[in-house]
Structure 1
Amino acid sequence: MDFDEFTGTVQHRLELAGTGQTLRAIRAALLPLGERLPAGHAEDLAASLPMEIKWYMTGGVHEHGQRFDWPEYLTLVSDISGADRADAAYHARVVVDLVHEVVPESDFQQLRDELPESKEDWGNLFEVVDAGGWHEHS
């Protein structure tokens, strides 16, 4: 999947008005994930993404391996995107679902293994994936 297809898919699924808003949503979802993951895991996950999108998880990250929980992640996503927390959570779930469609299952599983999943925590990030993906909801 190339950059235009990735961003176009996100824009369509989130029903966003423009490319700028779409790129903010993608960056907001992926940059904090890149910060949360160890550098090698972020590289693995991002390897199959378009180069411009990969950068959000790798080159744009100042420090990998940070420890923060789901509420802190949502705050970061909201701050970066300018969206309220509910929209930020939905945007992140949709972006992560598209990442799931694009990357090898082993790399996506590595992401899941890095994030503690409980009902109140990181499991929220995978709600669309766990529900069968976007195509099940469209």
Structure 2
Amino acid sequence: MNYDTFIDQVSQRTRAPSERSVELTRAVLETFAERLTGGEVLDLAAQLPRPLQLVLKPSPRTEQADRFGAAEFVARVALRAGVEEPAARDAARAVFTTLREAITGGEFDDVVTQLPRDYRGLVEPAMAPGATLRRG
């Protein structure tokens, strides 16, 4: 999936204009990168269009995952994107669903199954049949 298609899919799912969808996508991916280890971030980024790879690029401080729950994830997305938490939650769902469509194989499920169970409401709609979140 190319960059424009990715943003268009997020835009359709959030009912936001393209410019706003770019901001929402960036906020979700930056927050997701904080939650994942550097290796997981690299694996995910490798399958995305270049502009999104740059958003997911890990730094030395992101080698270790920052362990925060779904509520904190949504709060960070809301702060980054300058939106209320319900809009941030919707954006996260839209971006996760689009990520699932954009990458091949089970990479998305491999990444999200490592998240605690409280992320279920954000990522489960995007997961392949049979994939489950770990307990935690």
Question: What interval of TM-score do these two structures reach, taking the shorter chain for normalisation?
Answer: 0.7 to 0.9
RMSD: 2.1
5+ long unaligned stretches in structure 1: 133-138
Write the mapping of 1:1-138 to structure 2, written as runs, cut at 5 A: 1-19=1-19, 21-59=20-58, 62-64=61-63, 65-117=65-117, 121-129=118-126
TM-score where L is the length of structure 2? 0.84
Which amino acid counterpart does residue 31 of structure 2 have in structure 1? P
Q: Are the equivalent residues in 1 in contact too, given 2:35–2:67 (CA < 8 A)?
A: yes
Structure 2 CA distance for aligned equivalents of residues 14 and 76 of structure 1: 18
Identity of aligned residues (%): 27
After TM superposition, give the deviation of residue 116 of structure 1 in Å: 1.1
Moved over 3 A (4+): 59-62
For this pair of structures, how many residues does the alignment match?
128
Q: Describe the shift of the 1:3–1:60 C-alpha distance in structure 2 as closer, same or farther (beyond 3 A).
A: farther
After TM superposition, give the deviation of residue 7 of structure 1 in Å: 1.1
Structure 2 CA distance for aligned equivalents of residues 10 and 88 of structure 1: 12
Q: Secondary structure at the match of 1:110?
A: helix
